[in-house]
Chains A and B, each alone.
Chain A
Amino acid sequence: MPEPDTAPEARRILRICQACMYCEGFCAAFPALGRLRDLSEDDLDHLASLCHGCRDCYFACQYAAPHVFDVNVPRTLARVRQASYAKHAWPRGLGGLFRSNGRVVALSAAVAVVLALAATLLLVPSEALFAAHRGEGAFYQVIPWTVMAGAAAAALAWACLGLGLATASFWRAIRPAAVPSRVLIRALPQAMADIVTLRNLAGGGTGCREAEGTGSQLRRALHQSMVAGLGLCVLATSVAGLYGHVFGWQAPYPVLSLPVLSGLIGGVLLTVGAAGLMLLKRRAAPEPLAPETLGGEAAMLALLAAVGATGLIVLAVRDTAAMGAALALHLGLVVGFLAVLPASKIVHAPFRAAALLRDAIERQRATAETRRNDGRNER
């Protein structure tokens, strides 16, 4: 739940930024702020999601504490952001889970893993579970396909529904009024480029900072690795599903097949990215961070790293007696991840995409405005 004074504090600080604007080269949040005057709660939510938390503006700030203005944009916007996740959560009741979110994420993963292991132990005869399976359909000898696919599909549907409806609610709140399709068509590729390249984590070319001193592109690279890894893992799973249930080719597949190869590379990228981001967080100066958001972020990174790592373990031990337990663990983590998704830090991804789309639309309009004015001045 939002701290009651988050919005007034954000307005107090952002007025100072509006009058200063020294940081406008770091990311899109400052030019977007410059286009606004009075900041509605939805504007604050929009700006908070535009902020990628690079922290450059904090270390460059002439008004950061001990200055009496005590300007701390990254921390304040992290609080606004967290409150906006809670405000737009679907179902509404999930909003409360953004408090103590670290525990919520950990609990979801733990419960799912325990259920998966327990169900496997109870449903699968131990001689099948701990035997070394090889050949076609080996995985399903351990965990029946209906159980595996059913649990995963239910969790996935829940995650998509929760995330989708929350994002729709957020977009309804922040979307610019009456966007002609011509503007939207121009804005979409811009927004897409900002989403894919994480331009706003590039610090205007100087990178982002964990502490005062030289910036680096490491955080951006690790995040890209994590997202690409997650994408490849989704690809691996989808292709495997296609092979198995459309083409009738039974898993496990050879190492040099598309599902295994993309799963292998994806698993490595996901694990390395998430673990790297966790290490960076440990090095980070605490001042620009909002402590109440850290638990949920750390837990989600740990969960993603664990999903990636256990996926790799399943691959490594798939010919041995340990496969059954490893598979149950991995599936438990995946289901736990999907189950908690609508009440987790992952919400930042579609919210940020929505904010970047609004930003691209506003930039399109500003450019058109400038062009019109230039035309007028020439006449």
Chain B
Amino acid sequence: MIILDPDVVVAGGGIAGLSAAIAAGRAGASVLVVEAAPKALRGGNARHARNLRLMHAAPTDLMPGAYDEAEFLADLGRVTEGETDRAVALRLIRASADIPDWLAGCGVAFQRPGGSLPPSRKTAYFLGGGKAVINALYQEAARLGVTVWHAAELVGLTGGRDLAIDIHRADQRYTLRPGALVAAAGGHQADIDWLKRDFGPAAERFAIRGTPFDTGRVLRRLLEAGARPAGVPGRGHLVAVDARGPRFDGGIVTRVEAIPFGLVIDRTGNRLDDEAADRARTHFAKWGRLLAERGDAVLILDADGERRAPVPALEPIRAAALDELAAKVGLPPEALKAAATAFNAKGSAARIATPPFAAIPMCPGLTFTHFGVAVDEAMRVRMPDGEGAANLFAAGAIMAACVLGRGYLAGLGLTIAIASGRLAGEAAAQYVRSRDART
């Protein structure tokens, strides 16, 4: 079946795109979702998501206490150092309040607090994580009659009143003239060449923590069509990850959590920084940046340090003696021993003393970039004049930099994606309806 004129085309079948598709479908629009990944890998970076940040005025069955818009906005202002579009941010924060109910209506289940989860006043956790959410949303979209094309990509875009898009799917090219387009195809962090232009040659060593399908193709088309950029090229959320992990899609488990329990040295045996200086969760970003700037490094742990740290997904490289370990990971043995001696002499809490010793080679892992397109409060893509294009909307990571211009806030990506997706989908359906009413 070839639909030539769906009311709304959603480019991207991640959580933002599905939220848009469901919202538009419920508003009565016919919807086509164009997802770059094959079915088994669909869902964008939401597949790796765990929780989302929610405004709430009183304790709920998911979160204790309250988290009002002022506090949410203050947190955002703090991590972004003011690089946030306040009006758009406020719109999304307010829209976050009823996300739990909306998702529950789509068949998404949350995890009740308790168990090993840290009690969280600001975020709620999904039962089974992001892929379970994706599965539920695809099922709800199917129930609403939304058409989904997998392994299909938007490759051409002609903006303006007579919107036209080109889709590439199974060696065929389709030209569609939808009433409106919601661009929800994620960021550009899977395009290594693009990253190298903005981040420099270090990007060659980046592990991309999310989907390999976030190639930024739709973002590029929007920018070519005149969309106003948001955020800063060459800025992104980097964390230290296990260098033995996959190049793409390592998700949460390759993140190295054991740094405060050991010694980090570079390939020549020089210590990078004080490992235990910052034990808060923010230390992830610091080490990601350091690895990007200083080159790859190795985390060395002794048996005690390894036992105190959480279990890593990939078994560390172990040896009974330091020079044997150095040989195994390709470090100069004398330099490693000297670094360990100096480290132990400093009298830090962690020591490199008890065998067996363990090593985890590390590289920078890119979660997302702080670059995308700017939108107005209705999630319309801002054009060169600063006004939103009537029939062109953006949702999710492709516009997230407009809210999160720098820094990181746990669970914010998902909140932006769902809130902006719903708003964009509703606005797109409404635009198509009012256009049809005029003609």
Across the interface, which residues of B come within 8 angstroms of A204, CB to CB? 109, 111-112, 127-128
Question: Which of chain B's residues 121-140 have a Cβ closer than 8 Å to chain A?
Answer: 125-132, 135-136, 139
Binds A, one of B293-301, B307-315, B322-330, B352-360: B307-315
Cα separation A85 to B230 with both chains bound (whole Å)? 60
Q: Can you list 11 A-B pairs, Cβ within 8 angstroms, ordered by A?
A: A19-B312, A22-B128, A22-B129, A24-B111, A25-B125, A57-B128, A59-B135, A62-B48, A204-B109, A212-B135, A213-B139
Instruction: State whether A24 touches B116 (Cβ < 8 A).
Output: yes
Across the interface, which residues of A come within 8 angstroms of B130, CB to CB? 22, 62
**In the complex where A60-B132, A60-B135 touch, is A31 in contact with B115 (Cβ < 8 A)?**
yes
Q: At the interface, yes or no: B251 with Cβ under 8 Å from chain A?
A: yes
Q: At the interface, yes or no: A1 with Cβ under 8 Å from chain B?
A: no
Q: In angstroms, how far is the closest chain B Cβ from the Cβ of A27?
A: 11
Q: In angstroms, how far is the closest chain B Cβ from the Cβ of A355?
A: 18
Instruction: State whether A22 touches B115 (Cβ < 8 A).
Output: no
Cα separation A106 to B256 with both chains bound (whole Å)? 51
Instruction: State whether A62 touches B129 (Cβ < 8 A).
Output: yes
Q: At the interface, yes or no: B249 with Cβ under 8 Å from chain A?
A: yes
Instruction: State whether A23 touches B311 (Cβ < 8 A).
Output: no
Question: Which of chain A's residues 282-340 have a Cβ closer than 8 Å to chain B?
Answer: none
Q: Mark B24-53, 1 if CB is under 8 A from A, else 0.
A: 000000000000000011000001101000
Residues on B facing A (Cβ under 8 Å): 40-41, 47-48, 50, 107, 109, 111-112, 115-117, 125-132, 135-136, 139, 246, 249, 251-253, 307, 310-315
Residues on A facing B (Cβ under 8 Å): 15-16, 18-26, 31, 34, 37, 56-57, 59-63, 65-69, 204-206, 212-214
Cα separation A184 to B112 with both chains bound (whole Å)? 27
Q: CB within 8 A of B131: which of A24, A37, A61?
A: A61
Instruction: State whether A15 touches B315 (Cβ < 8 A).
Output: yes
| 5 tightest Cβ-Cβ pairs between the two chains A and B | A22-B129, A60-B128, A19-B313, A60-B132, A25-B111
Across the interface, which residues of A come within 8 angstroms of B313, CB to CB? 15-16, 18-20
Across the interface, which residues of A come within 8 angstroms of B111, CB to CB? 24-25, 204
Q: In angstroms, how far is the closest chain B Cβ from the Cβ of A100?
A: 32
Q: Which residue of A lies closest to B132 (CB)?
A: A60
Instruction: State whether B107 touches A214 (Cβ < 8 A).
Output: yes
**In the complex where A22-B126, A63-B251 touch, is A37 in contact with B115 (Cβ < 8 A)?**
no
Across the interface, which residues of A come within 8 angstroms of B315, CB to CB? 15
Q: Which residue of A lies closest to B140 (CB)?
A: A214
Additional A-B contacts beyond A18-B311, A56-B128, A60-B127 (18; CB < 8 A): A15-B314, A15-B315, A18-B310, A18-B313, A20-B313, A22-B50, A22-B128, A24-B111, A25-B115, A26-B128, A56-B132, A57-B128, A59-B131, A62-B129, A62-B249, A204-B128, A206-B109, A213-B135
Cα separation A61 to B253 with both chains bound (whole Å)? 12
Q: In angstroms, how far is the closest chain A Cβ from the Cβ of B52?
A: 13
Q: In angstroms, how far is the closest chain A Cβ from the Cβ of B176?
A: 28
Across the interface, which residues of B come within 8 angstroms of A214, CB to CB? 107, 136, 139
Q: In angstroms, how far is the closest chain B Cβ from the Cβ of A180?
A: 24
Across the interface, which residues of B come within 8 angstroms of A18, CB to CB? 310-311, 313
Q: In angstroms, how far is the closest chain A Cβ from the Cβ of B358?
A: 13
Q: In angstroms, how far is the closest chain A Cβ from the Cβ of B184?
A: 19
Across the interface, which residues of A come within 8 angstroms of B48, CB to CB? 62
Q: Which residue of B lies closest to A26 (CB)?
A: B128
**In the complex where A18-B311, A26-B128 touch, is A66 in contact with B41 (Cβ < 8 A)?**
yes
Instruction: State whether A19 touches B41 (Cβ < 8 A).
Output: no
